[in-house]
Amino acid sequence: MPDPLETFDPTSYVALGDSFTEGLNDPGPDGRYAGWADRLAGMLADRRPDGGFRYANLAVRGRLLDQIAAEQVPEVRRIAPDLVTFCAGGNDILRPGSDPDEVAERFESAVLQLRESAGTVLVCTGFDTRTVPVLRHLRGKIATYNGHMRAIADRNGCTVADLWSLRSVHDRRAWSEDRLHLSPEGHQRVALLAARSLGLPVEQDPEAPWPHRPEPTPAEQRRENLAWARTYLIPWVGRRLRGESSGDHVEAKRPELLPL
């Protein structure tokens, strides 16, 4: 982790990725999704009260790694920001038959391009899905991919926000009802982790304990799981079978580097 005493004071930040970075299920005051990247941008902007901080978020839900590399990564060369966050490949890993070794090779190719144009590149590992229904069987693939991302970061001088180690997101309250995207509090904890990974002082602890609440009974859990499957899992599978994406016809919410 960077030394908090070191001065990291970027004037521009570009966020790349998919629904995780777009900020799904974290509604902002303007009606659009906010998310951890917007929250991190706010922390960085607060450090520059002169208004000299600019931010762009190019992430679009449902995007695969190759789409992000083709659509978003070249924009970094044009913008040349001080900071880029690059969280990608999760949607590829979720697909049956995907190879985390091969996905990691394509991830590193994109990182090499980003390092040519950005001052600092922060990458995020995947979450530990051991407590997530359906996704827990992908835990081994995610762990393999995470190992590659750490090695890629080491080789290319990138900063890592280690989401796998973030134990506070094992609480159900860190996730929205669809169980695939973070809740507002989950996004806040990821933003704090990212800020701390960059060496920024943060007043809140991303691992702060959650308020106590009773655990649901087995019967309540079964009812919740059935309702979740009907509302979210079956439509998600249907889109996969039809070759559709939740990001079809969706554009980046903040495509230009503008004052925050």
**Structure confidence by residue, pLDDT tens digits, 190-212:** 999 999 999 999 989 999 999 99
Domains, the chain, with CATH or none: 12-259 (3.40.50.1110)
Question: pLDDT class for 229, splitting at 50, 70, 90?
Answer: confident
CA distance 235 to 238: 5
User: Cα(99)–Cα(145) distance, rounded to whole angstroms?
Assistant: 9
Q: For residue 211, what is the DSSP state?
A: P
Neighbouring-strand partners of residue 159: 122
What would the pLDDT profile of 2-59 be if each residue is shown by its tens digit?
A: 554 456 889 999 999 999 999 999 998 888 899 999 999 999 999 988 888 999 999 9
Question: β-strand 120-124 against 159-161: which pairing, if any?
Answer: parallel
pLDDT-derived band at 234 (thresholds 50, 70, 90) equals confident
Output the pTM of the full model: 0.91
**For residue 188, which of 17, 50, 38, 58 has the smallest C-alpha distance?**
38
Q: Which amino acid is at 166?
A: L
228 secondary structure, DSSP code: H
Residue 60 in this model has a pLDDT that exceeds 60: yes
Mean pLDDT across 198-227: 89
Across the range 68-87, mean pLDDT stands at 97
CA 197 – CA 102 distance, rounded (Å): 27
Helix (H) or strand (E) holding 259: strand 254-259
Dihedral of alpha carbons 208, 213, 217, 219, sign? negative
The band of 89, judged by pLDDT with boundaries at 50, 70 and 90, is very high
Distances (CA, A) of 92 to 43, 62, 101, 114: 30, 10, 12, 20
